[in-house]
Structure 1
Amino acid sequence: MAKKSFIQGAVILGIAGIIIKVLGAFFRIPLANLIGSEGMGYYQTAYPIYVLFLTLATAGIPIAISRMVSERIAVDDYFEAHKVFRVSFILLFSIGIVSAAICFFGAGQLVGAMGNPGAKFAMMAIAPALLFVPMQAAYRGYFQGMQDMKPTAVSQVTEQFFRVVAGLFLAYFLIRYGRQYAAAGASFGATAGAIGGVLTVIAIYLYKRGSLEHNIQRTKRNGGEKSSSILAKIFVIAIPVTIGAAIMPIMNAIDVGIVMRRLQETGWTYEAANSMYGQLTGMAGPLINFPQVLTQAVAMSLVPAVAAAYKQKDMHFLRENVQIGLRMAIIIGLPCAFGLMALSEPIMLLLYPMQRESAMNAAPCLFIMAFGVIFLSTVQTLTGVLQGVGKQMIPVRNLLIGAVAKVIITYTLTGVESINIRGAAIGTVVAYMIAATLNVIAVKKYTGAKFNFTLTYVKPVIATLFMAAAAVFVHRVLFGITGNALATLIAVGTAGAVYCVMLFVTRSIEREEIVRLPKGKTLLKIADKFKK
């Protein structure tokens, strides 16, 4: 039953994740066209600071809530499970108040330290979200502990919907007053979304209150675990997860200061440096983040399988899952990376037609960062493996090593005038490359897994090269006939079809894996035709 619940929950969260990313694209792309790279520079200065505070406030606590609630419900103790929820809600609400106050009243100092004082209003506008998002996290963790993923999925989609609508409307309304105010309007979208999300999850909680209250009263008793003990357990679980989740936001926040200062030191004006940073993070960045939805789904599905096999000491099954998980990550990451590289400029021009010059300037950054998708996919998947075998601090250490390397490389290369903003993109790729390599070494050490080089890398690479060649060929043939937009869309569709066919031709996916896919038997019949 638990296994069935997990699979259903993973599917629900996966679908929600895709919807959220699509909505995010509908937000960022029109926003960049509306407020330009200057406005995106203000927005992208405030947003990483917000994400950093949000990560520190909530990252590990929902996981701790979920685990502790689940443990208590497993022994039919709904009363103590609800007590965990109450204690954690008070904790998160308190953290939210402090975080929101710091970011609102200290907005000028925070963005000033990042070298971009023009982002003050954007920081103030996004600060209140730090009060409402932690409140959501408490409810989500509670429901997840009961293996009910629907409230989390629904509230996440609702939050993103309100964020997109409010953010774009306010940016459009405020652009007449200047790009700083338009960026602030876009930032307030996060606050509006957080309010919408928390109201949604509270409504779901009230709807389910009757059945919840019945079980709580049925298992109610005097005494029980002290609140201080619950708090201590929450922190023991949450702190390592929070440290790991905070590394990338910290790295991105540091990036702002390094990039802005180093670019200006090499002769670029403040306005030019701000625009270049907006091109990197506001235009190219969202495209790199989109494939993570799929690789996160792989990691999410892999963790319980690895954890169960490890606990049962079934090392053969564990290694089999590790091998399949990494191959799936590579099969997903490679086409995303090479597709974005092959069509970097056409894709940027397709998405940002009103910012043609900025789009063309951002294309080289997209080309470089796209290569990092391969390593990011590996990092995410193998982090799930290491968490499953109880080595959750190892991927944290590995990512930290990569982050230190990124700071050094970004500082060095952005100071080279001919490289400029591309140095930050190179630093990001190197960071993930280092973390991925160290994760592979750690997984081999702690699981004994051995990876078939030909099956894991060579065959998917062959399929990917055919795909990339098809994408470039189709775009070049159609560009002069249909223009860039239609040529790019057809090229992407053709590339996807070619890649799927080549996976079968190269036998990159084995028979038993095909059967496990949706419509697996039908796909297997198709695959068999290519073998004849």
Structure 2
Amino acid sequence: MLKKDSLIKGTLILAAAALTARFLGLFQRIPLDYMLGPDGQAAFNAANQLYLLLLTVATGGIPITISKMISQRYALGRHDEAKRIYKAALLFGAVTGLILATAMFALAPVYAKISKVPYAVLSLQAIAPALLLFPVIAMTRGYFQGRQIMAAGGISQIIEQILRIIGGIGLALIILGWGYGDDWGAAAIAFGSVFGSFGAFAVMLWFARKLKRQDLAEQRSAGHAVRKPGGATGSPIPFRSIYREIFTMSIPAVVTAMTVQFVYFFDLSLFMRLTQSLYNEESAAVILANYSTKAMSLAGIPPILAIALGASIIPVISSAFSLNKMDEVQRQTSLVMRIVCFTGVPVALLLTVAAYSVTGLLFTSPSGSGTVALLTAGTIFQITMMTSNSILYGLDKPRQPMMHTIVGFGLKVLLSLALAPWLGVYGLIISSSVCFIAITLLNIRTINQQVKLNVLGKRWVPYLIAIAVPAAAGWGAEYGVLALTAAWHDKLSYLAAGAAAALVVGGLYVFLLAALRVVTPEDIRSFPGPLRKLLNLLLKPFYRRAV
């Protein structure tokens, strides 16, 4: 029997699924560097990024909107109306998927020509069929979230990523083993998303059938006849009215959800054109491969934990705001930002200072480690942008982050056009960071108009010291170990250097947070359970009675 999940349990399930899916997604990128050349990597990454952007445009924000609409109707006992909304959402997903898949397949040569990545044609056409099912899957996930059954979406995400990796990498090994070139190998890996869509769809279909049988059984046991859509209230709601409600609520969420995908899509699509005055065609292909395969995959790591922890508190903000408990809203919004500072920054810090060793350990060589370092450093601002977006949603202000995102997009485009011809890939990354910073600052200004944020107060200087000192020490430790282990096998040397940097950065960071009183016992007591236990364990020598 399918049981409803509590708010905390549901949040934990979704966070755990997102964590697992993100890590599995990372392991799809690593084999690219070993299996494909620069052109093949660029082809896969260009196709994958366009696919992710289109998927975000088609579904971003809509499942959340549907979950709210479904939840409201079930709370009011209007079950038939909720099912009518679900039916409308499935129809929208099916039509949208068909249109997007067809357009992506047909226009693949046009996009490849615009982006100057000719190998991308096959990859674009291989990944296009995945768009047939994923919009429908997204709508179904929204419905189950509205019914408070979070496991369905979580399990489908994990199955999707497993089949995507196994199917795509396995098929590529076969294709490349038969002697086909990198364009076919990249297309084979891209086709892994189609395998993932089949797996996710099968999981959602199984849950949907089980829930339908359960609903029918509950109706019979309660002595109710099965009613037609609309029930006793008369004719069913027109789809037109349903779609108007969906789009009114979801368009702001779609715009903000596509920020990171748009930034990466812009870079990959116009990289060859924007940097042609700086790089020749061969070096541009190598740099683009390093950026899209190595830097983008590693840059996806720092936001995972911070966003998952921050997201668990957003419903609390929304609840407190709806009850006009502004003191609690202020406390919780400040706490969320404090959490992302304490948890997101050290991960980004480590990947930045140890970029050379981490890149060399995971990929074929440390080539492109400078790009990895700069992009992972910029994820600090990506984290604050996404978290402040969520806070504004909790404050029932979805339009503001949408407008701020549009401003950020404008800055990204203008700065990329100005900097990329002079600084190449670094110009693109700098422009992305400026985009994230601008959105964050505008979001914080809007939040402060509602409640006064107090993230660290007078502790900003000690906090910056707690960041700068471990960064310098970690960088020194990494290069010291690399020098000492120069005679070792490359991978062992990179592993030792990365481990040394991690120990130095992590140890010094925790020590300085406590020694400089950046983290106080009051902070620790206010954090979510898992983080509170971890910090209490680490800081126990400094704070005897932290909890």
TM-score, with normalisation over the residues of structure 1? 0.92
| Corresponding position of 1:440 | 444
| Cα displacement string for residues 467-497 of structure 1 (whole angstroms, at most 9, x for unaligned residues) | 3344334434433246222331343245334
| Corresponding position of 1:47 | 48
Distance 1:260 1:71 in 2: 49
| Corresponding position of 2:266 | 254
| Corresponding position of 1:207 | 210
> Pick from 428, 434, 437: which aligns with 1:430?
434
Q: Which SS does the other structure have where 2:541 is aligned? A: helix
Residue 501 and residue 74 in structure 1: after superposition, are their counterparts in 2 closer, same or farther (change >3 A)? farther
| Corresponding position of 1:322 | 333
Instruction: Please tell me whether residue 527 in structure 1 is matched to residue 539 in structure 2.
Output: yes
| Corresponding position of 2:103 | 102
Residue 210 and residue 508 in structure 1: after superposition, are their counterparts in 2 closer, same or farther (change >3 A)? farther
| Corresponding position of 2:304 | 293
> Pick from 371, 374, 393: which aligns with 2:380?
374
Q: 188-197 vs 205-214, which deviates more?
A: 205-214
| Corresponding position of 1:514 | 524
> Pick from 495, 498, 505: which aligns with 1:485?
495
Distance 2:291 2:216 in 1: 50
Instruction: Please tell me whether residue 468 in structure 1 is matched to residue 471 in structure 2.
Output: yes
Residue 451 and residue 320 in structure 1: after superposition, are their counterparts in 2 closer, same or farther (change >3 A)? same
Distance 1:494 1:50 in 2: 39
Residue 101 and residue 405 in structure 1: after superposition, are their counterparts in 2 closer, same or farther (change >3 A)? same
Instruction: Please tell me whether residue 349 in structure 1 is matched to residue 360 in structure 2.
Output: yes
Q: Which runs of no fewer than 5 residues in structure 1 stay unpaired?
A: none
| Cα displacement string for residues 12-58 of structure 1 (whole angstroms, at most 9, x for unaligned residues) | 11111221122122211112221133211111211221112111211
| Corresponding position of 1:146 | 147
Residue 3 and residue 308 in structure 1: after superposition, are their counterparts in 2 closer, same or farther (change >3 A)? farther
| Cα displacement string for residues 78-128 of structure 1 (whole angstroms, at most 9, x for unaligned residues) | 322222111111111111111111111221112222222220000000001
Distance 1:492 1:310 in 2: 40
Q: Which SS does the other structure have where 1:253 is aligned? A: helix
| Corresponding position of 1:128 | 129
Q: Contact between 1:336 and 1:373, CA under 8 Å: does it hold in 2?
A: no
| Corresponding position of 2:399 | 393
Q: 312-321 vs 508-517, which deviates more?
A: 508-517
| Corresponding position of 1:232 | 244
Q: Contact between 1:259 and 1:411, CA under 8 Å: does it hold in 2?
A: no
Q: Supply the AA of the counterpart residue of 1:194.
A: S
Q: 432-441 vs 510-519, which deviates more?
A: 510-519
| Cα displacement string for residues 118-148 of structure 1 (whole angstroms, at most 9, x for unaligned residues) | 2000000000110111111121011100122
Q: Which SS does the other structure have where 2:36 is aligned? A: helix
Residue 105 and residue 486 in structure 1: after superposition, are their counterparts in 2 closer, same or farther (change >3 A)? same
Q: 109-118 vs 500-509, which deviates more?
A: 500-509
| Corresponding position of 1:245 | 257
Q: Which runs of no fewer than 5 residues in structure 2 stay unpaired?
A: 486-491
| Cα displacement string for residues 214-256 of structure 1 (whole angstroms, at most 9, x for unaligned residues) | 4567483243433332222112112221122234433333323
| Corresponding position of 1:20 | 21
Distance 1:60 1:521 in 2: 33
Residue 521 and residue 117 in structure 1: after superposition, are their counterparts in 2 closer, same or farther (change >3 A)? closer
Q: Contact between 1:330 and 1:460, CA under 8 Å: does it hold in 2?
A: no
Give identity over the alignment, percent: 27
| Corresponding position of 1:179 | 182
Distance 1:484 1:438 in 2: 40
Q: Supply the AA of the counterpart residue of 1:504.
A: A
TM-score, with normalisation over the residues of structure 2? 0.89
Q: Which SS does the other structure have where 2:324 is aligned? A: coil
Q: 473-482 vs 333-342, which deviates more?
A: 473-482
Residue 3 and residue 508 in structure 1: after superposition, are their counterparts in 2 closer, same or farther (change >3 A)? farther
| Corresponding position of 1:192 | 195
Q: Which SS does the other structure have where 2:275 is aligned? A: helix
Distance 2:101 2:53 in 1: 12
Q: CA deviation at 1:446?
A: 2.6
| Corresponding position of 2:91 | 90
| Corresponding position of 2:80 | 79
Q: 462-471 vs 191-200, which deviates more?
A: 462-471
Distance 2:455 2:311 in 1: 20
Q: CA deviation at 1:364?
A: 1.2
Root mean square deviation, CA, Å: 2.4
Instruction: Please tell me whether residue 284 in structure 1 is matched to residue 287 in structure 2.
Output: no
| Corresponding position of 2:488 | none
Q: Contact between 2:32 and 2:293, CA under 8 Å: does it hold in 1?
A: no
Q: Contact between 2:385 and 2:436, CA under 8 Å: does it hold in 1?
A: yes
Instruction: Please tell me whether residue 407 in structure 1 is matched to residue 417 in structure 2.
Output: no
Distance 1:421 1:289 in 2: 18
| Cα displacement string for residues 315-356 of structure 1 (whole angstroms, at most 9, x for unaligned residues) | 11101111111111111232122212211111111111x2x2
Q: Which structure has more helix as a fraction of its residues?
A: 1
What is the number of residues matched between the two proteins?
Answer: 522
Q: 2-11 vs 15-24, which deviates more?
A: 2-11
Q: 489-498 vs 60-69, which deviates more?
A: 489-498
Distance 2:534 2:142 in 1: 38
Q: Supply the AA of the counterpart residue of 2:345.
A: L
Instruction: Please tell me whether residue 273 in structure 1 is matched to residue 284 in structure 2.
Output: yes
Q: 507-516 vs 99-108, which deviates more?
A: 507-516
Residue 483 and residue 522 in structure 1: after superposition, are their counterparts in 2 closer, same or farther (change >3 A)? closer
Distance 1:3 1:511 in 2: 35
Distance 1:138 1:400 in 2: 26
Q: Which SS does the other structure have where 1:207 is aligned? A: helix
Residue 43 and residue 67 in structure 1: after superposition, are their counterparts in 2 closer, same or farther (change >3 A)? same
Q: Supply the AA of the counterpart residue of 2:256.
A: G
Residue 148 and residue 499 in structure 1: after superposition, are their counterparts in 2 closer, same or farther (change >3 A)? farther
Q: Supply the AA of the counterpart residue of 1:314.
A: K
Residue 152 and residue 405 in structure 1: after superposition, are their counterparts in 2 closer, same or farther (change >3 A)? same
Q: Which SS does the other structure have where 1:518 is aligned? A: helix
